Chains A and B, each alone.
Chain A
Amino acid sequence: MSTASTSAPAGQARAGSGPVLEVDDLRVQFRTDSGLVNAVNGVSYTVSAGETLAILGESGSGKSVSAQAIMGILDMPPAEITSGRIMFEGRDLLTVSPEEQRKVRGPGISMIFQDALSSLNPVYSVGYQIGEMFRAHRGMSRKDAKKQAVELMDRVRIPAAAQRVNDYPHQFSGGMRQRVMIAMAIALDPRILIADEPTTALDVTVQAQVMDLLKDLQRDTGMGLVLITHDLGVVNEVADNVAVMYAGRIVERGTVDDVFGNPAHPYTEGLMSSIPQVEAKGGRLQPIGGQPPNLANIPSGCPFHPRCPKRRTGADALPGRHCAEDVPPLRLVVPGREAACHYSEEVLGV
């Protein structure tokens, strides 16, 4: 298994021509009966060809919603994209017509989901569902599309693809089903693949196989991979860069080595000390105190301040850097490192 340190330069080497996907100040709200829920609050990131960007965050941090906004598959209403730009190949996907947006899904950006069983239609064979990509986007005949489906199933290493092409999703194991999803997503050689918790529903050995497959496919095609996960181990193994999300914002961004090695945000720090370490066997895990934020009522100032062990309020706070009042912007702390904390330098220890 390649580690981040060896795959990062390789990813950056292919990145030459600038970012393929550029998300800028994306904001998404949900109108619910209990009021306005601010799910995504100004998220910006870029993904280059061959790069793997991990978006890390707990449930409700807005990582899936932002991905669905990029795909244009949010249910609107209740969701509403209130501002932002999603630049893909020079066009803002939020301003093009729905038909143009649809044509991007599949050949441009595609997505795989967490639960492959419920994400595949139970009444169509997997071959049919993979073949649909070719029929919808390339006008291929049903027969040719099925041939392509067999090739793709081979490519994602589903054994006996030619025999299994007419099988239905429920006849496959969990890992094989996720491979079917991947085959579908990479069918038209997308420039960007968004993987929303692709291995969460799988057991550990199968997780590793699926991640290996994704990395191999990325190496072959040079696609950018956006990996949405809450699994720090997966991030550590496959990602080049990582963006940590909290309460719909990115609170820290940098290379995996930097962020994991020396967090610049107290939330990231908390995440790091809450994972089991082989070296620290026998020691107690340190959970992050308090509750995840209520997105209908996000705390003032830094959204993390009620749980932050390093917050400075009252007399401690520097002018304009009051944790409970001033919202910390995502700013460059040291070259290559961004964090949204008033006191990142102290957290980093620089």
Chain B
Amino acid sequence: MGRYVARRLLLTIPVLLGASFLIFAMVYALPGNPIRALAGDRPVSPAVVEVLTERFHLNDPLWVQYWEYLKNLFSGDLGTDFRGRPVIDTIERTLPVTIKLTAVAIVFEAIIGIIAGVLAGIRRNSFFDNLVLVSTTVIVSIPILVLAFIAQLALGLKLGWFPIAGTREGLYSYILPGLVLASGSLAYVARLTRTSIAENMRADYVRTARAKGLPNRTVIVRHTLRNSLIPVVTFIGADIGSLLGGAIVTETVFNLPGIGREVFDSVRSQEGAVVVGIVTLMVFFFIFFNLVVDVLYAVLDPRIRYD
């Protein structure tokens, strides 16, 4: 197992290099001049443009620019944006927001999704089961943008239970955006759990567990739930990786200064260093949590071995 993990971690290096290069190339290919974009409507003296262009290697070919970037990266420097602020500071400022948002979303997704799925799966065709089926279908069909506005209007504005935007009320301000962000995955987790439980209830080993005279609780918890939750846990694990990639819509609608919104703003202002730095980080999160899921899979299911 240790060797497997080490090999997988080593493999992330070429993936990250490739990803960062692709992003770099895409930012490079963007039309327009970032210096002019920075200045907006104000006039900029040619001397300033020249100095900035020189400092950021903007006239050099792609390979040279990327090489300069990599050299800095290996000395621990992610570079600066055109205003001179280090990218690392931007990440430090925005990442905690996204981490909190992700954490809240995952908690909702796991707790509500699994409980709803388990109850629906155990009592198939019951009222609750149908409720879960209908509500998850509705949730999945509504675009997150609409869902976010509905949540703001109903729970924030009309009922006044939650703040509508910003992060002023600490973790509490993350509940509404977390719920909105989680909704899609939550519905999926509920469905996945339900199907998985329903399938496992018919498994031969569950019949064996009953034939052994185990108490109903043991049959359900140990022999049905445990096996049914393997795919669910792995889905949630992988979802952490994707949610950490930031949610542009949710962060924008709820005015949360996370990395999703930051990268969106940076693309618009052609802040190449910021985009490359943050997106590469997102790629890393994604790869890392997929690795965690693979390891977790082997822990949960003894039939899976990587050695």
Contacts and interface: CB of A to CB of B under 8 A. Distances in A.
Contact of A122 (B209, B215, B301): B301
B212 A123 contact: no
Contact of B205 (A102, A105, A119): A119
A297 B226 CA distance: 41
Contacts of A125: 302
A73 B211 contact: yes
B204 interface: yes
A105 B300 CA distance: 29
A103 B216 CA distance: 12
Nearest to B218: A136
B210 A105 contact: yes
A226 B213 CA distance: 18
Interface string A169-195: 010000000000100100000000000
A121 interface: yes
B303 interface: yes
A103 B210 CA distance: 11
Interface in B262-298: none
Interface in B242-265: none
Given A118-B205, A121-B223, A122-B227, A136 B214 contact: yes
Nearest to A137: B213
B209 to A, nearest CB: 7
Interface string A132-172: 11001100000000000000000000000000000010100
Contact of B303 (A107, A118, A119, A170): A170
Contacts of A119: 204-205, 207-208
B213 A136 contact: yes
Given A119-B207, A121-B205, A170-B303, A132 B212 contact: yes
Contacts of B73: none
Contacts of B214: 102, 132, 136
- Among A71, A118, A123, A136, the one with the most B-chain Cβ atoms within 10 Å of its Cβ is A123
A168 B213 contact: no
B227 to A, nearest CB: 6
Contacts of A121: 205, 208-209, 223, 227
Interface stretch (A109-117, A240-248, A301-309, A319-327): A109-117
A123 B227 contact: yes
A15 interface: no
A107 B214 CA distance: 11
A277 to B, nearest CB: 35
Interface residues of A, number: 30
A110 B212 contact: yes
A102 B203 contact: no
A38 B118 CA distance: 32
A110 B189 CA distance: 37
Contacts of B202: 75
B211 A110 contact: yes
Contacts of A168: 302-303
Given A113-B204, A118-B203, A106 B212 contact: yes
A125 B302 CA distance: 9
Interface in B212-231: 212-216, 218, 222-223, 226-227, 230
B204 A122 contact: no
A133 B302 contact: no
B198 to A, nearest CB: 12
A118 B227 contact: no
- Among A111, A120, A121, A184, the one with the most B-chain Cβ atoms within 10 Å of its Cβ is A121
A288 interface: no
Top-8 shortest CB links A-B: A105-B213, A106-B213, A118-B204, A121-B205, A168-B302, A119-B204, A73-B210, A111-B211
20 contacts: A71-B211, A73-B211, A75-B202, A102-B216, A104-B213, A105-B213, A106-B212, A106-B213, A113-B204, A120-B208, A122-B301, A122-B302, A122-B303, A124-B222, A132-B214, A133-B212, A133-B213, A136-B215, A168-B303, A170-B303
Given A102-B214, A110-B211, A119-B207, 5 more contacts: A102-B216, A121-B223, A125-B302, A136-B214, A137-B213
